[in-house]
Amino acid sequence: MTATDDVSPEFAAATSTAQRVTINGNELAVEVLGPEGAPVILTHHGAPGLGSRAEPRASFGRLADEYRVIVFDARGSGASEGSGTFSHEQWAADLDALREWAGAERVAIAGGSYGGFMAMEYAVRYPERVAAVVLRDTSPDHGNAHLARDNALASDRVTVDMEKFDRIDQGRVRDDDDLRDCWREILPLYDFVYDPDAVERKVAATPYRYEAHNYAFSVNLPAYDLKPQLPGITAPTLVTVGRTDWITPVSCSQTITELIPDARLVVFERSGHSPQIEEAEEWTRVVRNFLHETYPPAPAAGPTTAAGRA
């Protein structure tokens, strides 16, 4: 575990030291891991207003022995500033400005869940900058919302307060405390194995930024649909998903794989929404093998570092 000793980094504030980098007029918390001169993996975390760089740092950071891995708290999330808009266009522009800041002509773009939305958005908006795409537990459109609601109603783990479910799902939470309360309601649905104590640890560790969450879910997602653009992605694409993912079910990943030419799908049978944690060794092996094939690391790269350019 990277965020703390006993909390999964999937939903936790980052505890590692970050640089403060001004990107498009907004100060972001950024970390650059891995050898200088190595091919760059540019990541985007999930759950705007709830997620942080801790998750991609833990998962894609495993590849920093061979790749230059950039992780950051997105505008409005984690420890980053939250000025301006939280649109997909703005978040994608922030990704491209980070690529330029890092001095990379092309990158592997990677993300899970909402971070997968942004990885696909980036590949659609900046195709000439993308050498490979790695997706995890994500969806090509907002069609996953009704599937997630049905799965929440059908859950035999807990009885979900659907008033709270609808408020968090529709971006109508009142403040950070209300976001925390609604988040607690749906967290039991995420993992392959349900652990009530782990849920409470995650609730305590999550960084709450309700403005970004509300904007993402009330403004961005109702119109989110990349299906018409996905056939135009020509970069090699890997799609990974947990078999029992409740919020972006396997069918969503199947649709992505059918639409992106030559995309490959790997389903992890003993994972929920987080195979990069629940089947970490196998997930990392699959991603590394895919990148070795499509975006190989530079030979004889220098020593690994945890600092980027100043």
Residue by residue, DSSP assigns 221-288 as GGG-B-TTTGGG--S-EEEEEETT-SSS-HHHHHHHHHHSTT-EEEEETT-SS-HHHHTHHHHHHHHH
pTM: 0.93
* Residue 306 scores a pLDDT above 70: no
CA distance 171 to 309: 36
pLDDT classification of 7: cutoffs 50, 70, 90? low
Beta-carbon neighbour count of residue 280 at 10 Å? 15
Per residue in 29-38, pLDDT tens?
999 999 999 9
Average pLDDT over residues 5-10: 65
Please say whether the beta carbons of 100 and 73 come within 8 A: no
pLDDT given for residue 10 in this prediction: 76
HSE, side-chain direction, 13 A CA sphere, residue 91 = 34
pLDDT given for residue 11 in this prediction: 78
The mean predicted confidence, pLDDT, of the chain is 93
Q: How far is CA 288 from CA 60, 61, 65, 117, 125, in A?
A: 9, 11, 11, 21, 25
Average pLDDT over residues 77-91: 97
pLDDT given for residue 298 in this prediction: 76
C-alpha dihedral, 139 to 201 to 271 to 118, nearest 10° = 20
The candidate with the shortest Cα–Cα distance to 169, out of 205, 220, 110, is 220
pLDDT given for residue 137 in this prediction: 98
Per residue in 200-247, pLDDT tens?
999 999 999 999 999 999 999 999 999 999 999 999 999 999 999 999
Backbone Cα Rg of the chain:
18
> Is 33 in a helix, a strand, or coil?
strand
Per residue in 101-155, pLDDT tens?
999 999 999 999 999 999 999 999 999 999 999 999 999 999 999 999 999 999 9
Please say whether the beta carbons of 69 and 43 come within 8 A: yes
The amino acid sitting at 305 is T
Interacting residues of 51 by C-beta distance below 8 A, sequence separation 6+: 11, 45, 74, 77, 78, 113, 114, 115
Burial of 180 per CB tally in 10 Å (0-12, 13-18, 19+): middle
